[in-house]
Amino acid sequence: MNVRVGPWSVRLAPRALLVTALLVVAGFCVTVAALSTGEFTVPVPDILDALFSQGTPVAELIVGKLRAPRVVTGLLVGAAFGISGAIFQSLTRNPLGSPDFIGFTAGASTGGIIAVVSGGSAATIAGGALTGCVVTAVLVYALAYRGGVQGYRLVLVGIGANALLVALNSYLLTRANINDAATAGAWLTGSLSGRGWDHALPVALALLVLLPVCAYVSRPMRMIEMGDDAARAMGIRVEVVRGAALTAGVLLSGVATAGAGPVVFVALAAPQLARRLTRSPGVTMGASALMGAVLLTGADLAAQRLLAPTQLPVGVLTAAIGGTYLVLLLRKDRH
């Protein structure tokens, strides 16, 4: 459905709009549930008072300083992983084209482990994760480049790099002392526990800067999905668009990993679920971002509340859910 506003024409997909609206509602419901429930229950009408320092001191402490930063970090990290996965799956034209599989998350893990073993602070670990992700992406891209980058080659080179980096991470853990190895192991699981506003702010700034880039390249990326030659025939500067999309995807993946650790399978599952629900033929960055936010925050809520008194790191639950989804995906799309 095309809507004309003055000299501009906007194409609207009713199903995609409906799915987006439902995801917004789901995200709102998960956020409210995460802020209000727990060992200390805060009534829903009192949440806003607690957030704006107008509630009781106990409610302000629990909602404003403990739960809200964790929930906001989960929403932002999930959105970043969702967009990153959508970008790579579109560019590779492969549902396995996810940072989890093509080595970028493993590279971020390597950078984080090195920072932990070196005795770095939380900021140093985050910087190490981002650096490791970027360095790995540059190496994978360089190895996959042969007069251009084909999707299957990027996936294959990335899978090989991922295997090497996983082995390197295991080696680093065996060489570290027991305390550093335990700290690194906990970080590698992926968790939102103990997250504060200092974790949420960098992810928010990254999304603020990179979302316009993602919106700008989303339409050309749909053309590139039809093939480089067809895209060039329509005037698309393929390598420029691909480079900008890869840069945005790598940075989003690195920042998300720095914020919550290498939470697996969100970048894989969120874009696929969003595309299937919207029935969109191309990249669905907005729906993927919302789906990633709902998946990660919902998984963290389930890990805290449904499995109480045992609270699992969110990475454990996303791995279980994502692994099941991967098996179903491979079974359905055997080709």
Q: What percent of the chain has pLDDT over 70?
A: 92
From the number of C-beta atoms within 10 Å of its C-beta (0-12, 13-18, 19+), residue 20 rates as: buried
- In order of their start, the domains of the chain are 13-29+68-332 (1.10.3470.10)
95 vs 212, higher pLDDT: 212
Q: What is the pTM of this model?
A: 0.89
| CA–CA gap between residue 227 and residue 131 (Å, rounded) | 31
Q: Could you tell me what percentage of the chain is helix, strand and coil, using 3-state DSSP and rounding each to the nearest 5? A: 75, 0, 20
- What span, in angstroms and rounded, lies between the C-alpha atoms of 236 and 226? 12
CA 272 to CA 123: how far, in whole Å? 32
Q: For residue 153, with 0-12 CB atoms within 10 Å meaning exposed, 13-18 middle and 19 or more buried, which class applies?
A: middle
CA 248 to chain centre: 12
pLDDT, residue 49, reads 78
Q: Is 9 helix (H, G, I), strand (E, B) or coil?
A: strand
Q: What pLDDT is stored for residue 5 in this prediction?
A: 47
Task: Write down the mean pLDDT value for the chain.
Answer: 84
- Which sign does the torsion angle of CA 296, 301, 304, 306 carry? negative
Phi first, then psi: what are they for 262, rounded to 5°?
Answer: -75, 75
- Structure confidence by residue, pLDDT tens digits, 268-325: 888 988 888 888 777 788 899 999 999 999 999 988 877 656 677 888 888 887 777 7
Residue 176 CB coordination number (10 Å): 19
First-residue to last-residue Cα distance in the chain? 33
pLDDT digits 0-9 by tens, 158-200: 889 999 999 999 898 888 888 888 888 888 888 888 888 888 9
pLDDT tier for residue 209 given thresholds of 50, 70 and 90:
very high
Per the listing, tokens 């194409």 go with 11
Report the pLDDT value the prediction gives residue 3, as an integer from 0 to 100. 47
For the cut 70, the answer to whether the pLDDT of residue 95 exceeds it is yes
Four-CA torsion 195, 200, 203, 209, nearest 10 degrees: 180
Cβ atoms of residues 41 and 28 within 8 Å: no
Whole-number Å distance between alpha carbons of 116 and 125: 6
Distance CA 110, CA 178 (A): 17
DSSP state of 46: G
pLDDT digits (tens, 9 = 90+) for 99-143: 888 888 899 999 989 988 887 777 888 888 989 999 998 898 888
